Structure 1
């Protein structure tokens, strides 16, 4: 083995997860040589791109599908993103303050919001409960209909003002790379246009083969390649008990600001997908974006050619996958939801169908107020647990214990990027016998009351 051409760690994938890990390894360890391999010409061109997600810091306060325990964990990692941006002075450049809220409409949803506020206000002391009169003052378009009259339905909101809510995750990814490269204590190499096709371990060293016939060697590998993480894991014989269902999200947009902040709706507990929300968009000068829709797309990357065959390989279709699909589709609410989301993609009819849902947020919305946001949206690989015959929600990790880790990080993966990276840094340092400067890490990135 030639030590000169072998890295200590190679990261596969330059989305925000891979970029965050690259940054942390450069700043808080005594590693001397690391590399990142990215398939495309720059970092964060897929799901971490600002047009591919809702640009939201998911800290658990208004995400109505989070339990209190999950909210505590997500809050800690969300604060890391905020502290990182404040550390480097990125506020008002790539991290922004808006008001935010979750709204309940009708008797049952309003009771739900009120009860949730009581349960969560100790964890988030800044949370406020808004009645209809307050909502009309701070988000008037939630209340007034097309005729200038108020909503007939009961409505309440739970939310906050003067909090950091919005991040351009693509811009943050770029800064992770830039700040890592500025480190003088470690060799940090980045190779763009380097698609990893195969990984094998030879004499305790991983060999990574790219489609342009190059070979990179490393003592340890972390794969942060989005929906392709499981694809590469399967190629090596790992994670065969998992399949993958790519869920694509699309958006509609307005030509002006129609909301003063982020407005989320109560998520239907039967549906394993995000509820509709409206957001001031940082790529559209604050104009409002509505979404996401949710539909199964038989490919692993949105707006990129190919990956259809990769989809079928990672689906791992068998009787267990069929059972998962059957359990989902036998529920009439889920069937209706899936069919409606396919309709949202159809020209002319889609916008009119989507408008009916979007009017639950803004009653006065007209068909001419919105248009399909071409080029917006991404693909999130949802993991199918074949052994337990269920759809897994959130993130999944395959730690082989043999020097290679595969991460699958759909929402809230961008929010959790620094926390997930911390977990991997600890595993890397343990495996390689290196030092993780946890004191410096906590000082820079962890809120005092979140230190464990």
Structure 2
């Protein structure tokens, strides 16, 4: 068995792992850093452009964010923009589009007015759009079912116009950039692909990492950024056993032509722990509009990668009375139950498009079934973590650091937006554990 030793090994080369690899290489005096990726390139799963909404979720149009959460998310979102500017990534992997959070009907319109007043100080650039302004910048949103006359409902929005802020990122390309930049920092770095980690052990303060090709890597410290597989590997190490995981997949529908000029998000149902349907210009589909996501609970840790992750799902779920009770309580709520069951219908041929269009017409009333098609191969899996101690579904990111020197991260949305902020947290923790120097001033100058 071949063995290689490093100060830090990062497992997973999606956007979160790539961000940490970059920050360790650029802002610390740690000399030997490796990143191991299961597949043959960075960002082939949830960070791939087809697997997410390509959005910088900074909190200005995400109506499921409280003001307190928005403040935290904005800070990490600003880091994304600063990294993009540092790399001259404008119109390469970072783009500026108009965007808005749309309120439809009197109740939502009143809510949007109140939200605008509450959030405008945190986002000084944000504007309030009435129906006339919406018609000017997003005409298909303001027009009715005939596409000619104005829609009957009252509509308002809060948002920004084209060119005012950066809104969109190809996180796949950004992952590649982060890894490339990490390799240019004069450190002893290793980037290895097709290295599926099966087990991690700690022996005498050294971590032993085993892969399917019978290689062994040793490290003083480890960070696992492997999506739902982070919990899978944590469980195999005997930690994080108070957590379980429901993987939720999201599917999308694409339009055959450009229908929206920018991003249009809707008011989030506060009872649902899933993103509300929204429309985005798709960077990888000639800027045609992508509507979604749906929310589909599936018994797999990865989508579009065969059936291998099905048994891994059951191993990670660790189904017991507590998980059963939490799941039952969720399904007792008719809003959640009906939403989850209804979303399965969006996967069924012949009826899926007609059902989906009914929901998407809240954004574009004139949308027709013939305007859209199921985006085959689009959509990823987000690990929705169940906290058995608390007895509920965790909304947001989760980290397991029960063993000194190793961190397991699970990052559902907005994990991509938070990647550099999460990497900063983990970089500080690793430096403290190793007694390494962290150049905080340089990071603050460049990214904060």
- TM superposition score category, shorter chain reference: over 0.9
CA contact (8 A) 2:49 2:170 kept: yes
d(CA) in 1 for partners of 2:204, 2:330: 45
Per the alignment, residue 57 of structure 1 pairs with: 56
Partner residue of 2:374 out of 367, 372, 375: 372
Partner residue of 2:398 out of 396, 399, 414: 396
1:132-155 CA distance string (max 9 Å, x none): 111111110001124212111111
What SS does the aligned partner of 1:190 have?
strand
CA contact (8 A) 2:240 2:402 kept: no
1:301-355 CA distance string (max 9 Å, x none): 0100110001011111111111111111111111211121000000110111000
Per the alignment, residue 128 of structure 1 pairs with: 127
d(CA) in 1 for partners of 2:262, 2:310: 37
Per the alignment, residue 107 of structure 2 pairs with: 108
Equivalence map 1:152-163=2 (5 Å)? 152-161=152-161, 162-163=164-165
d(CA) in 2 for partners of 1:268, 1:204: 47
Per the alignment, residue 357 of structure 1 pairs with: 359
CA contact (8 A) 2:4 2:216 kept: no
Say if 2:305 is the partner of 1:304.
yes
Q: How many residues align?
A: 443
Q: What is the deviation of 1:264?
A: 0.2
Partner residue of 2:384 out of 382, 385, 391: 382
d(CA) in 1 for partners of 2:130, 2:145: 21
Per the alignment, residue 225 of structure 1 pairs with: 226
Per the alignment, residue 246 of structure 1 pairs with: 247
Q: What is the deviation of 1:285?
A: 1.3
Equivalence map 1:39-438=2 (5 Å)? 39-147=38-146, 148-161=148-161, 162-184=164-186, 186-305=187-306, 306-438=308-440
What SS does the aligned partner of 1:344 have?
helix
Per the alignment, residue 32 of structure 2 pairs with: 33
Structure 1 segments unaligned to the other structure (5+ residues): 447-452
TM-score (norm. length: structure 1):
0.97
d(CA) in 1 for partners of 2:152, 2:179: 51
d(CA) in 1 for partners of 2:206, 2:341: 48
1:135-183 CA distance string (max 9 Å, x none): 1111100011242121111111011122100000000000001111112
TM-score (norm. length: structure 2):
0.98
What SS does the aligned partner of 2:97 have?
strand
Q: What is the deviation of 1:401?
A: 4.6
d(CA) in 2 for partners of 1:5, 1:93: 35
Q: What is the deviation of 1:224?
A: 0.4
Per the alignment, residue 449 of structure 1 pairs with: none
Structure 2 segments unaligned to the other structure (5+ residues): none
